[in-house]
Amino acid sequence: MEAGRRWTRRGFLAGVGVVAGLSAGARRALSSIGPVLGVPPLTTANPYEELGVKAVVNAQGTMTYLGGSLIRPEVEAVMCAAAKHYVNIVDLHVAAGARIAQMLKLPEDYTAYVTSGAAGAIVSGTAAVITGNNPEFIERIPDLTGMKSEVIIQKSHRYPFDHQIRCCGIKLVEVETPDELRKAVCDKTALLFFTNYLNSAGRIKVDEFARLAKELRIPSFNDAAADTPPVSRLTEYVSMGYDMVTFSGGKAIRGPQCAGLLLGRKGIIGNAILNTSPYEDTLCRAQKVGKEEIVGMVKALELYLEDDHEALTREWWRRLDQIAAQLKRLDGVSTAYHVPEIANHVPSMQVFWDPRKYSLAPADAAKFLLAGQPSIAVGQGREGLSLTAFMLQPGEEKIVAAGLERMFRAHTV
């Protein structure tokens, strides 16, 4: 450390430019951080509020920026039980994966792996097919000298999470047609990657892509992170022949937020484990999954598979209907429903309004609701707001309806 310069938390954060990017509230909280003993203890009542951060009513969906989804009491209970003992983490990973494969009735040569999330599954799955079980390769990645270094993806399937492929040192090779794909395959090809929610955007559809991978004998990966419900999707892509498929644990399955599922061929999953924490000189050491999350993920999936999904869907519609009924009383406000085919295949409601009757742009409407008390998060489109009800807690539909009504009344022209 430099002589004559005292290390302080504020000085350090300011020095690295972190403070500049924070919200005003976060900056205020940072400036009031005192010596440890002068800080009020957190209780279990509302730790967020005690930290000065507002809890949010989530009418938007399974958004990572809001904390994903809420675990159920049963999941919380097994996570607390898991926190009371030490365990060999690799043994636990293998056993949890076997249990998940059993619950999903995966084919004999498949198993599962609880990763830090779908994004983490993309990194460790890609690393697995690059390094195999070669210890030198595992230590050297993302320097890919002497290893396969290309992943083929459809041009229309490029998306933010392909950063998780590129961070393995990989060059992405873009193709559009089956012919281009065949020609792009060479001895450097490690993987064929499919972005499930972009299925309709690509010339090669999800089932044909899996067939091509098999024909060309290259491993295939399908990112289906937000693509359950329906439950059937959890096994559909393995049935098509994908060698690896990922789902987020902390979205509709309501597992721990920092967990996800990587389903895959046993050999590949074994190599994914070798590339990940607790092993230290690995690419994915930073993707640690705790014993509590591993066990919580198993329990969450068990509950999810046992759910009455039709009853849940009816309840989500009922909540949206209730909000719509209240909004109908407002002159010039209308609603419309829609269910995305893929990615969050759940009831969703758009709210529109006559701009001559309410002076409010959609972006300002979303901000107004988020800044309100209670704070309500909704999605925002070009023409209006977009709501889902599947992440609401029972009764919160009333809060959302009242919040929307307050907003419109406050902006009546």
Ligand X SMILES: *Cc1c(COP(=O)(O)O)cnc(C)c1O
Residues 340-379 that bind ligand X (CB under 6 A): none
Q: What are phi and psi of 156, to 5 degrees?
A: -75, -5
114 binds ligand X (CB under 6 A): no
Task: Give the C-alpha separation, 231 to 224, whole Å.
Answer: 12
- Which residues face 223 on adjacent strands? 195, 246
Task: Give the C-alpha separation, 1 to 308, whole Å.
Answer: 59
397 binds ligand X (CB under 6 A): no
Q: How far is the CB of 411 from ligand X (least distance, A)?
A: 33
Stretch that binds ligand X, among 18-26, 117-125, 323-331, 373-381 (CB under 6 A): 117-125
Stretch that binds ligand X, among 52-60, 116-124, 130-138, 384-392 (CB under 6 A): 116-124
Q: How far is the CB of 255 from ligand X (least distance, A)?
A: 9
List of long-range contacts for 357-362, beta carbons under 8 Å, 24+ apart: 357/331, 357/332, 357/412, 357/413, 358/332, 358/333, 358/408, 358/411, 358/412, 358/413, 359/411, 359/413, 360/407, 360/408, 360/411
Provide the mask over 245-264, with x wherever binding to ligand X is found by CB under 6 A and - wherever it is not: ---x-x---------x----
Q: Burial of 342 by CB count in 10 Å (0-12 exposed, 13-18 middle, 19+ buried)? A: middle
Closer residue to ligand X, CB minimum distance, 75 or 323 = 75
Provide the mask over 193-212, with x wherever binding to ligand X is found by CB under 6 A and - wherever it is not: ----x---------------
Residues 45-64 that bind ligand X (CB under 6 A): 64
226 binds ligand X (CB under 6 A): yes
**Residue partners of 145: CB distance under 8 A and separation at least 6:** none
**CA quadruple 11, 12, 18, 23: dihedral sign:** negative
Stretch that binds ligand X, among 23-31, 41-49, 93-101, 114-122 (CB under 6 A): 114-122
Stretch that binds ligand X, among 88-96, 111-119, 297-305, 366-374 (CB under 6 A): 111-119
Q: How far is the CB of 127 from ligand X (least distance, A)?
A: 15
Task: Give the C-alpha separation, 337 to 325, whole Å.
Answer: 13
Binding residue for ligand X, selected from 150, 162, 223, 236, defined by CB under 6 A: 223
The answer to whether 276 touches 138, Cβ cutoff 8 Å, is no
For the chain, the residue count is 413
Stretch that binds ligand X, among 123-131, 222-230, 282-290, 389-397 (CB under 6 A): 222-230
Per CB under 6 A, residues contacting ligand X are 64, 117-120, 161, 197, 223, 225-226, 248, 250, 260
